[in-house]
Structure 1
Amino acid sequence: MRLQNYALGQWVEGTGKFTELFHAVTGEKVAEASSAGLDFRGMAEYARTVGGPALRRLTFHQRARMLKALAVYLTERKTEFYKVSEATGATKGDHWIDIDGGIGTLFAYASRGRREFPDETFYVDGPTEALSKGGTFVGRHVCVPLEGVAVHINAFNFPVWGMLEKLAVSLLAGVPCIVKPATVTSFLTESVFRAMIASGILPNGSVQLICGSAGDLLDHLGMQDAVAFTGSASTGRMLRQTESIVEHNVRFNQEADSLNYSMLGPDARPGSDEFDLFVKEVAREMTVKAGQKCTAIRRTIVPAPMVDDVIQALRARLGGVKVGDPRVEGVRMGPLAGRGQVGEVDRSLRALLGATELVYGGPGSLDVVGADAERGAFFPITLLYDDDPFEKRAPHDVEAFGPVNTVMPYDTVDEAIELAKLGKGSLVGSLFTADDRVARDVALGTAAYHGRLMLVNRHSAKESTGHGSPLPHLVHGGPGRAGGGEEMGGVRGVLHYMQRTAIQGSPSTLAAVTREWTKGAAELSDRVHPFRKHFEELAVGETWHTHRRTVTEADVTNFAGISGDFFYAHVDDIAARTSIFERRVAHGYFVLSAAAGLFVDPAPGPVLANYGLEGLRFVKPVYIGDTIQVRLTCKSKTAKDDREGQVPQGVVAWDVEVTNQDAEPVAVYTVLTLVRRLYTLDGKPYDRPAAVATPEVFVTEQPGTAPARMT
C-alpha cells in the first residue's frame, strides 16, 4: 500500500524513491511512503490563503463545535484504527493511550472552547488597565489568531495522539495546520487523517498531511507561522537553526525526550501502600508502549537502605510481563516501533552498561511469545543500577528510548532533589510519599527543572492518571533538555497560536472593539427594564440605575437572624467600636441581597435563572443609616448551545456596582443570568435577526452622570 499525502485540498501520491514501512511484530512490509514532488511552498500558501480565512471567520464556539463533531466521528471508527495500530506493535492498552487519548483531547478542547472562550473570533486577556487619572484612557489585551500556518512535526511513538493534541489547540485558535508524522508509523496517522477528511467537518485548507520528508517546507515559513516539534533534542536543535525560522522569529515549540525521574520517599518503606504503588508505576512506565514514551520513567531514585527491596520488587513484577505479539492472550508488552529503533536503543543501552550494573534483563534475555524476535522489533526489558549517581553520570546523560530504566540511591531528600536536577530538564517527575513535608520539599526543589510533577500517596492513587499521562488541562513540556516548550495546558496551549496585542483608547472605544463593556464606557438606557428583554434584545452597555434604599438597624438584625451570622461587627455595638470599622456595619451579603432587591424585576420574564457571581469585592463598609443604589450594566452576552427539550438561552454577564449616598462604590461584582433567546442557533453564527428591532436607547457619554432614561 502506498500512502498518500493530502496537499492543496486533494490526496496526492509521492514520487521517486519510496520509504518502506514494516509491521513491528512480523517484520512484513505494510506500506511505503514518499512526499517527493509535493509543492511545499504552495502547501504553506494554501493554508494561509484558504484555510486561515475560513477558520478565522468562525468564532471559538463554532470551532469548538467543529472539534466535538470531529471527535464524535472518529470515536465511531475507533475499531478500524485499532486494527491499523496493530502494525505499530501496540497492545490494547497502547491503543487506548494513543487513539482514545487523542480523541479525548479533541473532546476536552471542544468543551474548554465553549466554556472558557467567548463566542467571538478573538479573546480578551485580563481586565481593563487604568492608564489615566480621569479614567478616559485605558488599556486591554486582545489575542487574535496568527495569520499563518502551524507546522506540526510529530514523533513515531504516538502517531494519533501526537497529531490530535496539536490539532486541537491550533484549530481552536483558528490557525490551519500542516501535519508531518514520523514516517515509520505514518500509516496509522494517514488512516485517521483520511477519516478526518472524509468527515467533511473541517474547512478546506485547514489541515494538510505529509507522509515522508518535510522537504524544504520550513524554508517557506514567515513571521505569522509557527512550528510545533516533538522528537529528539538533537533534531529539535537542528530545526530551530533553519534560516527562515531564525530570520523571521517563527514561533517554535519543542517537546523533546527527556530523562524523567520517579522518586520513592524516605517514609515509603517496604509493605507500605506508597512502596507498592511506586513499584507498580515504575514497572508500568517501563513496559507501556515498550518504554517508547517521552514521559517514561528513565531514572528511579530510592533511599539507599531500600535499594535491594526496590530492585527485588521490580524484578518480581517485571518477570510477570510477557513480551510478544500483542494479539496473543496474556502478552502485555509489544515490540518497538521498528527495527531502526532497536538499533538506537541498543546503542544507548551499551553506553549505560559502561557505568551501571545490570540487575534484570538486558542483552540475550529476550523471550518472545507468538512472534519471531529476529523479524520483529522486540527489545528486552532492562533494569540497571548506578551505585554512585553523582560520579557515574551516564544515566543522567544517555536516554535509551525503550524499556530501560536505572535505579539510583540517595541518602537525604536534598540529595534526591539534586539527582532529579541532573537530568538537565525533564517533562515529568513523580514522587511517592505519605509525608506532605517531603512532597513540598521535592516539589519546590525540582519544579524549576520539570514541566509536570505528580505527587502520589494512598489517597490519590486510585484516581491518579499516572506518571506518564499528559492531560489537556495541564501543560505538557519542560525546560532544558525537554525542549523548553509547552503544549496543551488548557487556554495556554491555544494562546500559543495567537498574537497578544495591547490596545489603548477610551473606555467606549475599547468596549466597541472587544464587545465587552468596561467601566467608563458609554451607557445605554431604555425605558424598558433589561430583565424584561430577551437575549437578542439586550445591547452590551445597556444600563439600569435603580432607586435607593436606606439600610436600617432592623435590616441588620433581621439578616443576622435569618442567616445565622452574628459576627460582632454586625450585632455587638461595643465590640464594633473597637474594630477597624469603629461602629456597626451591615453584612456584606445583606448588601448583595439588598442590591438584588433593587435591580431585579420580579415578574416572570425572559430571565430564567441566576447563573453565578464572579469577582466580588466589598470595597467600602456600609453602615447603618447609609443609603445604597445599584448600577446594572450588560457587560457581555454569550449564546449557549441548543439542547433538545431545553429553552433556547444565553448567558448575560452584568456589571454591578453598588454605591452609597456619596456615590462611592461599596461593592462591585459580575452577575451571570440565563436569559431566554427568541431564536435557535442551528449550529450557525448567532446574529441579531432582522425582525428584532434595535431597542430605543439613550447614550450617556460622561461616566458617573445620570443616564437620560425616559420615564
Structure 2
Amino acid sequence: MNEVLRENDSASAVRDVRSFAAGQWIGADDTARAIHSAVTGRLIARAGCAALDVEAMLDHARKVGGPNLRAMTFHQRAKMLKALALHLGQHKDRLYEISFATGATQKDHLIDIDGGIGTMFVFASKGRREMPDAHVYLDGDVEQLSRNGTFLGQHICTPLQGVAVHINAFNFPVWGMLEKLAPTLLAGVPAIVKPATASCYVTELAVEILLESGLLPAGALQLVSGGLGDMLDRLTSQDVVSFTGSAETALKLRSAPHILGNSIRFIAEQDSLNASILGPDAAPGTPEFDLFIKEVTREMTAKAGQKCTAIRRILAPDAHVADVIEALQAKLSKTTIGDPKDAATRMGALVSGSQKADVLEKAAMIGAEADRVFGDPENFDVHGASAEDGAFLPPMLFHCANPDAATNVHEVEAFGPVSTVMPYGDLDHAIALANRGQGSLVASVITHDPDVARQVAMGAGAFHGRLYFNDRDSMGESTGHGSPLPHMVHGGPGRAGGGEEMGGVRGVMHYMQRTAIQGSPDILTAIGGKWVPDATEITHDDHPFTRTFHDLEIGETFRTRPRQITSDDVAHFAEFTGDTFYAHMDDAAARRNPFFPGRVAHGYLLLSFAAGLFVQPDEGPVLANTGLDNLRFMKPVEPGDSIKVRLTVKHKTPRNDEYGEVRWHVTLTNQDEDLVAEYDLLTMSAYAAR
C-alpha cells in the first residue's frame, strides 16, 4: 500500500501514482508526468504509463466485470454501494490528509470527499426504494396494442454490455469519481476511471480503499493514472464515455470519427458561465440581500473558485450594484488565504501553477471589459505558505458597467476565484443576460417574490440545467447555489455540454438500453417480473395471506365470493362516516347527474367491503396494509348489485432482512362481470411464518 504523501516529507519523496488494470496495480514509467504540490510547488508525484494495455483493460471489463455485475440484481448492487460508502467513510481521514496537497481546505474536503460518499448513499437508497430486486427495469406503463389485450407493449431497460469510461476533472478527485461511479455500478456496468493528472493521486487512494474493501466484484472498477492512449478508439456501441472538463477538450473527444461513427454514448459536463440574479425585491436590508452576498462569497472562495458550478456572473438591479460591490468587498476582505491545513485558512491554493497562470490570463481578458474592484494578484497576503511557491491567488471581483456591449464576461471563464458584477434594468433584461452564457449548469435567483421566480423559470429554464431559488423561508435548509445533489440532474445545455449526470434513477438510465418489447401478457410478465393483467393466474388451496413473502408467486390469485350491496348498507355507511353526498342519499338528484343511474354506493364503501371479502383475519405473514395506488372507479354500483374481488400478486420488493412489500392487483367486478373498481394494494409481508 502506498503511504499517504505529506508536505513535510523529504524533497526526494516522490510518489509513483499507479493504475489498476485487469486486476493488477501498475506503476508509472519514464513517460510519466510530474505533479507538484499546489501549496509548496514541490515535486510530489508522477503519473503515467505508456505501456498500459488498454485493450486488456477493456476486455477485462467486458468479459469479467460486466458479467459479474449483471449477475447481481439492482438491490444487490445497491447494497454493495451502501457498503462501499460505509467503508470509504471509515477511511476518509486518509483522503483528507492527502487532499491538502491539491490546495483544498478541510471545508473543501467536506464538499469533495464527504459529498462523494453521500452521493453513493443516495444512489444506494434509490436503488433499493425505486428499482426492483430484479435484473430488468420497467420504464413506464404497459401499452395496449390490440383490441382485446392479447398483444401488449412495454419499455424495459437492461445494462449495456460494455464499459463506462469516466474522464474526470481535477477539482473533485473523489466526488467527481463517485458521482459517476455510483449510477454506473447500480446499472450493472463496469467502469474505467481516468482522473485528471494534477490530482490523480487522491483518486488513486480512493480506488485503493474501494478495492481493499473486497466488496467489488472482479473487473467492476479499473483506474488509469495518466493518459488513456488509444482507449477511446477501441470502444463499441455498448460503451459509454462520461466526460467532465473543458468545452474544448469535450469537443475534441466527442467529435472523433470513431465516437461519431459508432454512435458511442458521450455524456459531457463542461465549463459554464453560471449566473446569480439578485431579485428586484431583494433590496439592501432584506434577508435576501444578505443571503445573496453570502452565496456569492462562498462560491467565489470554496475550492478557490475551482467549481464547475461557481458563480461567474453576478446580476443585480442597477440601483443596487454599488451596494452589492461594497458588501462583497467587505466579505471578501475577511478571506484568509494560505496553508489549507491551517484551520484559520478560508481559501487555499489553486491546484497547480499552470492553473494559476490560466486564471490570470482569463482574468486579464475579463479585465479588458470590466474594472477590478477587489483583489490584486500582485499584492495579497498568504498565511503559512509562500505566495511565490504555491498556486495562490486572491478572490478577484470585477464590475462590468455595460454588460450588453461586453463579450468576454459572457464567454470567458476564469476557472478560479473570479466573478463579475453587472447591472440589469428590468427582470427581462436580467434573464437575457443570464442566457448569454449560451447554456449553463446552474443559475440562482435570490428572491422572495414567487412571480419573479416563475418569470425566470419560464425565461431562463431552457438555457440552464438547474435553477436554484432561495429566500428567507428556505435559506435555513438550502444546500447552496454550487451544490449539485444526486437526487437532481447535473448538467446543462449548449456550452455546458448538453448532458446530464446523477438525477436519481435518471442517471442510472445513461448506462442502460431502453428496449420496446411486444408480446402477450404472459410474455411481458415473464420478462419484467411483474404480473400483467390477463396473464396466466396461479391458484393455491390456502389463502395467499397465510403464505410468506418468499412463498408467494407472481400471478398467484385469490377470488372471493360475491356480496350484495343493499340500501341499508349505503344509508348506514353515510350515517357512520358523515359522507352524505347527494348521489348516495337522493335518488332523483342522482339521476340528474350524468354519471349516475340513480342512488349509488359510496366508492369507499366498496373498498371496505372488498377488504372484508379478501382479508384473512388470523395472525400471519401479512404485517400491515401500507396503502393503495392507482385507484379508479369504473362503474357505479346500485343497491341490489353484487361485487366480488380478484386479488393477484403483481410484484414483490424486499425491504429489509425481515419483510418485503407485496403489490397486489385488485379488481372489483359486479354480477355481470363488469369492472367496477381497480387498484394496487400494498402490504408488508414477513419472510418467515409467524
Q: Same fold (TM over 0.5)?
A: yes
> In the alignment, what sits opposite 1:173?
187
CA contact (8 A) 2:633 2:676 kept: yes
Structure 1 range deviating more: 310-319 or 173-182: 310-319
Local SS of the residue matching 2:337: strand
Q: d(CA) in 1 for partners of 2:221 and 2:301?
A: 34
Deviation at 1:679, TM superposition (A): 9.4
Local SS of the residue matching 1:6: strand
Q: d(CA) in 1 for partners of 2:586 and 2:283?
A: 55
Encode CA deviations 1:312-365: one digit per residue, 9 max, x unaligned.
111111111111112223210001111110011111101101111111114324
Q: d(CA) in 1 for partners of 2:352 and 2:390?
A: 8
> In the alignment, what sits opposite 1:553?
567
Q: Aligned to 1:201, which of 207, 212, 215?
A: 215
| Letter paired with 1:61 | H
Q: What percentage of residue pairs aligned between the two structures are identical? A: 56
Encode CA deviations 1:78-128: one digit per residue, 9 max, x unaligned.
111100111111111100000000011111111111111111112111111
Deviation at 1:576, TM superposition (A): 3.1
Deviation at 1:570, TM superposition (A): 2.8
Deviation at 1:558, TM superposition (A): 2.5
Matching of residue 9 in structure 1 with residue 19 in structure 2:
no
| Letter paired with 1:11 | W
Q: d(CA) in 2 for partners of 1:402 and 1:610?
A: 54
Q: d(CA) in 2 for partners of 1:580 and 1:673?
A: 36
> In the alignment, what sits opposite 1:663?
673
Where do residues 139-154 of structure 1 align in structure 2 (5 Å cutoff)? 139-154=153-168
Q: d(CA) in 1 for partners of 2:172 and 2:653?
A: 37
Local SS of the residue matching 2:62: helix
Q: d(CA) in 2 for partners of 1:54 and 1:311?
A: 56
Encode CA deviations 1:402-461: one digit per residue, 9 max, x unaligned.
011111111111111111110000000110111101110111211101011111110011
Q: Aligned to 1:461, which of 447, 456, 475?
A: 475
CA contact (8 A) 1:424 1:449 kept: yes
Matching of residue 591 in structure 1 with residue 601 in structure 2:
no
Deviation at 1:559, TM superposition (A): 2.4
Q: d(CA) in 2 for partners of 1:431 and 1:343?
A: 32
CA contact (8 A) 1:569 1:581 kept: no
Q: d(CA) in 1 for partners of 2:517 and 2:321?
A: 59
Structure 1 range deviating more: 376-385 or 600-609: 600-609
Deviation at 1:200, TM superposition (A): 0.9
Deviation at 1:585, TM superposition (A): 2.7
Local SS of the residue matching 1:636: strand
Structure 1 range deviating more: 105-114 or 611-620: 611-620
Matching of residue 651 in structure 1 with residue 668 in structure 2:
no
CA contact (8 A) 2:621 2:688 kept: no
Where do residues 212-223 of structure 1 align in structure 2 (5 Å cutoff)? 212-223=226-237
Matching of residue 474 in structure 1 with residue 484 in structure 2:
no
> In the alignment, what sits opposite 1:263?
277
Deviation at 1:390, TM superposition (A): 1.3
The count of aligned residue pairs is 675
Deviation at 1:369, TM superposition (A): 1.2
Q: Which runs of 5+ in 2 are unaligned?
A: 1-14
> In the alignment, what sits opposite 1:315?
329
Local SS of the residue matching 1:44: helix
> In the alignment, what sits opposite 2:3?
none
CA contact (8 A) 2:132 2:653 kept: yes
Matching of residue 427 in structure 1 with residue 441 in structure 2:
yes
Encode CA deviations 1:631-667: one digit per residue, 9 max, x unaligned.
111111223331xxxxx22221111111222222222
CA contact (8 A) 2:167 2:244 kept: yes
> In the alignment, what sits opposite 2:641?
626
Deviation at 1:573, TM superposition (A): 4.2
Local SS of the residue matching 2:146: coil
Deviation at 1:571, TM superposition (A): 3.2
Deviation at 1:69, TM superposition (A): 0.8
Encode CA deviations 1:507-538: one digit per residue, 9 max, x unaligned.
11211122211111111122221112112221
Where do residues 109-258 of structure 1 align in structure 2 (5 Å cutoff)? 109-258=123-272
CA contact (8 A) 1:103 1:161 kept: yes
> In the alignment, what sits opposite 1:84?
98
Superposition TM-score, scaled by structure 1 size: 0.93
Where do residues 610-621 of structure 1 align in structure 2 (5 Å cutoff)? 610-621=625-636
Q: d(CA) in 2 for partners of 1:623 and 1:439?
A: 50
Structure 1 range deviating more: 4-13 or 595-604: 595-604
CA contact (8 A) 1:14 1:38 kept: no
CA contact (8 A) 1:35 1:214 kept: no
Give RMSD over aligned pairs: 1.4
Structure 1 range deviating more: 35-44 or 614-623: 614-623
| Letter paired with 2:590 | A
Q: Aligned to 2:365, which of 351, 357, 366?
A: 351
| Letter paired with 1:406 | T
Matching of residue 28 in structure 1 with residue 38 in structure 2:
no
Q: d(CA) in 1 for partners of 2:379 and 2:584?
A: 77
> In the alignment, what sits opposite 2:349?
335
| Letter paired with 1:439 | A
Q: d(CA) in 1 for partners of 2:626 and 2:662?
A: 9
CA contact (8 A) 1:322 1:333 kept: yes
> In the alignment, what sits opposite 1:673?
683
Structure 1 range deviating more: 73-82 or 669-678: 669-678
Q: Which runs of 5+ in 1 are unaligned?
A: 643-647, 681-711
User: Residues 365 and 579 (structure 1 numbering): CA distance in 2 closer, same or farther, change over 3 Å?
Assistant: farther
Deviation at 1:670, TM superposition (A): 0.8
